[in-house]
């Protein structure tokens, strides 16, 4: 009799775990779908605001540094709002935005000390 109760408890616990896992999986799928949809909307906006070369540059930045990419996208959107979206930003302008956002990089100088020729 106790064996049946234990087996029944195990079966119920397994069912609970399956349902919980299925619920988490559905939530994760929903979140992934929402993120993918957001990326598509952002891509469509960037197509309207940027020339192809500038868009390609930002795509490369996105692969390497997502934080810098999102900050650059915010800057592009801000500039578009300020200008009324009349002109697309070119590659040079996007490059300047990226340089400004990435900050001043330190220049490394190597000085050799030793015998003089």
- Cα dihedral across residues 73, 63, 50, 94: positive or negative: positive
pLDDT of residue 117: 60
pLDDT of residue 103: 79
pLDDT tens for each residue of 59-92: 999 999 999 999 999 999 998 888 887 888 999 9
Q: Print pLDDT tens along the chain (117 aa).
A: 566 688 888 888 888 888 888 777 778 888 888 888 888 888 888 888 899 999 999 999 999 999 999 999 999 999 888 888 788 899 999 999 999 998 756 677 888 887 766
CA 100/CA 68 separation, integer angstroms: 11
Give which of 64, 56, 61 is closest to 72, Cα–Cα.
61
């Amino acid at each position: 009799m106790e064996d049946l109760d234990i087996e029944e408890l195990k079966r119920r616990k397994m069912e609970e775990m399956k349902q919980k896992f299925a619920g988490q999986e559905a939530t994760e799928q929903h979140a992934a779908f929402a993120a993918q949809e957001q990326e598509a909307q952002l891509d469509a906006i960037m197509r309207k605001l940027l020339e192809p070369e500038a868009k390609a540059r930002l795509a490369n930045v996105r692969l390497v540094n997502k934080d810098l990419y999102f900050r650059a996208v915010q800057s592009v959107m801000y500039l578009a709002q300020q200008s009324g979206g009349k002109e697309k930003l070119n590659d040079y302008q996007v490059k300047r935005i990226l340089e400004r956002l990435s900050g001043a990089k330190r220049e490394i100088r190597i000085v050799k000390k030793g015998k003089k020729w």
